Amino acid sequence: MIPITKPALDEEEVLAASETILSGWVTQGPRVAQFERAFADYAGARYACAVSNCTAALQLALHAIGVGPGDEVITVSHSFIATANAIVHCGATPIFIDIEPATYNMNPTLLEAAITGRTKAILPVHQIGLPADLKVILEIARRYSLPVIEDAACAIGSQVRIDGKWEMIGQPQGAVACFSFHPRKVITTGEGGMITTNDPELDRQFRLLRQHAMSVSDTKRHSSKHVVFESYLQPAFNCRMTDIQAAIGSVQLGKLPAKLACRRTLAERYDNAFAEISGLETPQIPEWARPNYQSYALRVTDDFSVSRDQLMQQLLDRGISTRRGIMNAHQEPAYRNLHCGALPESELARDSVVLLPLYETLTCEQQDQVIAAVVESAGAPVCLAAATKNVVSH
């Protein structure tokens, strides 16, 4: 079976984890602080705060900017359900707007009409690593004095060009950016997340909220030469990352440039192979975006020889795992009672897109099997030479 993805971990991560275990400090501690500094440096942010997962990151970000009952947060339904869940768990209401059909990201032309007196924040998603149109979103947000929280769960290493300058996703452009280190992401700590910001007060709140609003951190208590008693300043959360996870994350972060280069090579091979096949639409990348290709999204139109679902089954029959297009929260039982307007592009994307295997250890031979299976489903002759044209093997 060729899986949809596979985390790339080796002896370096094993050694880092084992050294941490043997150190005697395994919960949030010095390794977490080290990982945070390295991540902030990579992203170009002043601050980075490690947390237990990206859902926690989103919820802490919303909580810290004051989102609560009666508020609205404008976002997209076309995202993993955690995006909507984080809003609801703050007591607020997600206001879904549709996506752009080319990028599967928030359509900024629909944003202004969704803003009301109850709008507290705007939450765009950088879907499967392709940056949303931040320049336009930020312009609207500033006009209405609204904070922007970026759901960058999939977007570590992606870049966006704003005012002629390439910026790393996570810098951040808005108030906050939130990342995931789930095994399906480009770098992984098993589970885990990171919040970046340039605002010292927000960073202070994240660090407070992630460990029960404890007035004195565990590291300060353990290193103190005097007896210290902590206080708990407000109802808060337990969203800490362990030092074991952070040790693995630091190693993974060092490998990120090579991971990105490999993923972009694999994506280019897919692009070349499918470019001329009727009924298939390869990813459309705006000239202002550089995605990390966390996933490879192939749209199957009515002109293709079989349906999207039939294609997925044919690939599975040949030992190739795929996934459908990104889910829509409003089509899930948890949100069916939430009133929202028509979201035709979101629904079409979910039902017409297939995600193909893409990960660093996917060999060219394995990718050729995927390409051949898709091409044969189209009833076209298989010619793998087109896939490798002008592409250096990873």
Catalytic residue annotation: 185
With CA atoms as reference, report the closest residue to 291 among 188, 106, 160, 135.
160
Q: For residue 96, which phi and psi values (nearest 5 degrees)?
A: -85, 130
CB atoms within 10 A of CB 182: 20
296-300 sheet: strands from edge to edge? 280-281, 296-300, 353-356, 323-324
Place of tokens 């051949």: 372
With CA atoms as reference, report the closest residue to 51 among 328, 240, 316, 332.
240
- Within 13 Å and on the Cβ side, how many CA atoms surround 307? 5
Cα angle 377-383-384, degrees, rounded to a multiple of 5: 100
CB atoms within 10 A of CB 136: 14
d(C-alpha 53, C-alpha 173), whole Å: 21
Cα dihedral sign for 383, 278, 294, 317? Answer: negative
Amino acid letter, 3 = P
d(C-alpha 168, C-alpha 164), whole Å: 13
Cα angle 335-337-342, degrees, rounded to a multiple of 5: 80
d(C-alpha 380, C-alpha 374), whole Å: 9
Amino acid letter, 136 = V
**Residue 274 in tokens:** 């499918």
Cα angle 4-268-387, degrees, rounded to a multiple of 5: 95
- Within 13 Å and on the Cβ side, how many CA atoms surround 201? 4
Q: DSSP letter string over 296-328?
A: EEEEE-TTSSS-HHHHHHHHHHTTB--EESPPB
